[in-house]
Structure 1
Amino acid sequence: MGEDSNSWIRRTKFSHTVCHRLDPSRLGHVPIGIQSEQKSSPASEVQRHPITNKQRSSSPLPVTFLSEAFREARHDQKRFSTPNPQRDNRITGKELNKDSPETKESSSKFPSRSPSKKVKSKHSKDAAWTKFLDNGGSKITAVETAEEWNIDMSQLFFGLKFAHGAHSRLYHGVYKDESVAVKLIMEPEDDESGDLASRLEKQFVREVTLLSRLHHQNVIKFSAACRKPPVYCIITEYLSEGSLRAYLHKLEHQTISLQKLLTFALDIARGMEYIHSQGVIHRDLKPENILIGEGCRLKIADFGIACEEASCDILADDPGTYRWMAPEMIKRKSYGRKVDVYSFGLILSEMLTGTIPYEDMNPIQAAFAVVNKNSRPVIPSDCPPAMRALVEQCWSSQPDKRPEFWQIVKILEQFQSSLVRDGTLTLLPNPCWDNKKGLLHWIQKLGPVHQNSGPVPKPKFT
């Protein structure tokens, strides 16, 4: 037994070979069962050293007893398939591509959520946002205003974060086997008065209420929502092409073709025509909130500060973005749906020039210039006169002189037909006419009745 006890025992069937030398004095404490009766090996099975050709004694094979948890850990198919039973705060839903090598590698990097130890890292911050939504796979009732919309967390898979705001984050995910965007809004921890938390909750309720009733090919598709303070969750379709802002940024100050400009402008105008027909004002229309889907179709998104025209709060603390904001909103005066038409005029200008409005100013300076100096972005000299007239009419400082979106759609459709017919933009039979006055005359001839929303006030053009 002396020679046997000092021999090397090799544990097999593991990814790494682990060797131990036995100490006879500690055999009683080693959890290894060794066969009590040793049978001498036949001569035919005696192994010899390949170099010295000496007979090598056979050591008995150890019998190890593995726990069920260790056996499951060794099994490839069950690896990461079940959560750790000692872990109370799991990440919401499941991780996207959970069986991929990248996910297995990243899962080992998640910090511990022990309350006695805080690990500051990028992953811990993301986990802090999602852990509040964990509900063990059961359903969470949505907001009262849209109870039919709820999230089945067992079918929600979180992917990578692709955008963030001051109090919100956007994740790519999969919900019910469809690619989605998951927007998480979180109340700040340092909000002692609770004012900001209350405002964020109202914003969430308003956005879900409006999105759940808007159904149009040029409006982002709403899927589900839930709230579990301090986190609120909104799920919409995921548009992989990104925003109009990202598209224009890639052009590096180059302008897009007139044909594509008209296609983009028509998508935006048709989406906004439908939104206004439902009595909704967007209030934050800008390239960042216009997303590009399949076939380069544009869709209006982000209804966080949208409101119903009949109940808009003109003194709200989150009125929009200064660069694209109408003068009456900046002044906190009474306003209506024409503020979106003003923003649309700036978007047209941006697509014509390839630069953001008032690029050499900060937002406060831009707002001051608009209100006190009636400043507007410079329109390129090579811009077609008819398009110039439309842009200037949209960003008029007087709201009642701005056209309605249904009128803008008719104008752009006429531009598109004219471009296909003779390569120019025109609404006028006589090119010697003044384009601006001719445009107003043509708009007035369209009539005051909208085909979908009934009578609307006739614009007072002069």
Structure 2
Amino acid sequence: MESGNGFYSIDEFRLDAKWLIDPKFLFVGPRIGEGAHAKVFEGKYKNQSVAIKIVQRGDTPEEITKRESRFAREVAMLSRVQHKNLAKFIGACKDPVMVIVTELLLGGTLRKYLLNMRPGCLDRSVAVGFALDIARAVECLHSHGIIHRDLKPENLILTADQKTVKLVDFGLAREESLTEMMTAETGTYRWMAPELYSTVTLRHGEKKHYNHKVDAYSFAIVLWELIHNKLPFEGMSNLQAAYAAAFKNVRPSLENLPEELARILDSCWKEDPNTRPNFSQIIQMLLNYLSSVSPPEPMIPPPIFISKNTVLAPESPGTSSLIAVHNSSGETPRGDIMENKRKGCFFCFSQCY
């Protein structure tokens, strides 16, 4: 249950039985990620490969209350939204420690994928295809009244074939409120909407009024990054980037971009949140762009019969085939090599905690 201040009490928190995992069937493997308040491990749950997020409770009573509330809120939201571009929620438990279990995505973060590709860039159609994945995930959240508040390449994970992007980490997400004040300075400065930032907030930690349009701004910064494969606001620190965007209306350059893509970016990062499009509109704009650059191929009827001398035209691979799987050396790793990299020791959860 969420209180008037936007916090959940973990004592009041009740997880539907179908989402409650049994820790004795949970096995923890190698660590695959780490944030300020949680660590993520590869693991097994009832012979299913999973990602295990273990949330640290904190040291002080204030920290413990805050993190328990965030955990309860994250689980409550994960359990009620399902979409092919959101990491699938498998379950959670709060004792002996706070644990969230989701599907294991083996393609790595979008950040790592782009870094491995530099100085090259994604094919533009592939970049926009990834952007569509992201937009559809956020549209689903918004349809359930949820704001993500932390859209960035680190929170976007690729599937094993690296053809699909899924949005993860609801740690900063929350239900949208039209009347309540919500925490400012939420998210990561470089991708943070300007209305979330203020010098007053830095000093006093005050709350502000804002809405789901903060995600549209962050989405635009991610889309720009997908297209250019450069760090937005390059040469600035995270704080400098947030200050420039909020108080000087600075945005990444739109030079040398097709007019339609430039128009999408410009509309999404408008200074006035109310003039930014919603994600249904963003999806339609992206689809319009893709249809203008990649018209549908004509249908080729299949041959009536096939002889040993017949040469078949290759199946059209679609835009996803333009994605190359890169490792740090630029080579395309074989599946068995990737599998070997993931092998490691797994420990029974109860042995660790």
TM-score (norm. length: structure 1): 0.57
Are the structure 2 counterparts of residues 157 and 145 from structure 1 closer, same or farther at C-alpha, using a change threshold of 3 Å? Answer: closer
Kindly state the Cα deviation for residue 177 of structure 1 after the two structures are TM-superposed. Answer: 1.6
Kindly state the Cα deviation for residue 145 of structure 1 after the two structures are TM-superposed. Answer: 4.4
> 1:402 aligns to what?
276
> 2:202 aligns to what?
none
- 8 Å CA contact 2:180–2:209 kept in 1: the answer is no
Structure 2 counterparts to residues 23-422 of structure 1, below 5 A? 143-189=13-59, 191=60, 194-228=61-95, 231-295=97-161, 296-310=163-177, 314-316=181-183, 319-331=186-198, 333-379=208-254, 381-421=255-295
Report the residue type matching 1:187 in the other structure.
R
- Rounded to whole Å, the distance in 2 between the matches of 1:172 and 1:313 is 38
Structure 2 residue runs without a partner (length 5+)? 1-10, 199-206, 298-353
- 8 Å CA contact 1:142–1:151 kept in 2: the answer is no
Answer 1 or 2: higher relative contact order, Cα 8 Å, separation at least 6. Answer: 2
- 8 Å CA contact 2:184–2:208 kept in 1: the answer is no
- 8 Å CA contact 2:184–2:197 kept in 1: the answer is no
Kindly state the Cα deviation for residue 314 of structure 1 after the two structures are TM-superposed. Answer: 4.2
Segments of 4+ moved more than 4 angstroms: 311-315
- 8 Å CA contact 2:150–2:187 kept in 1: the answer is yes
Let me know the Cα RMSD of the aligned residues: 2.2
Report the residue type matching 2:242 in the other structure.
A
- Rounded to whole Å, the distance in 2 between the matches of 1:196 and 1:288 is 24
Cα-to-partner distance string for 1:138-161 (whole Å, 9 max, x where unaligned): xxx994144432122232111001
Report the residue type matching 1:258 in the other structure.
R
TM-score (norm. length: structure 2): 0.74
Are the structure 2 counterparts of residues 386 and 318 from structure 1 closer, same or farther at C-alpha, using a change threshold of 3 Å? Answer: closer
Structure 1 residue runs without a partner (length 5+)? 1-140, 424-462
Number of equivalenced pairs = 278
- Rounded to whole Å, the distance in 2 between the matches of 1:317 and 1:178 is 38
Cα-to-partner distance string for 1:376-400 (whole Å, 9 max, x where unaligned): 1123x32111101110110000111
3-state SS of the aligned residue for 1:213? coil
- Rounded to whole Å, the distance in 2 between the matches of 1:198 and 1:166 is 16
3-state SS of the aligned residue for 1:148? helix
- Rounded to whole Å, the distance in 2 between the matches of 1:340 and 1:413 is 19
3-state SS of the aligned residue for 2:105? coil
3-state SS of the aligned residue for 1:144? coil
Are the structure 2 counterparts of residues 313 and 235 from structure 1 closer, same or farther at C-alpha, using a change threshold of 3 Å? Answer: farther
Are the structure 2 counterparts of residues 196 and 300 from structure 1 closer, same or farther at C-alpha, using a change threshold of 3 Å? Answer: same
3-state SS of the aligned residue for 2:94? strand
Seq. identity, %: 40
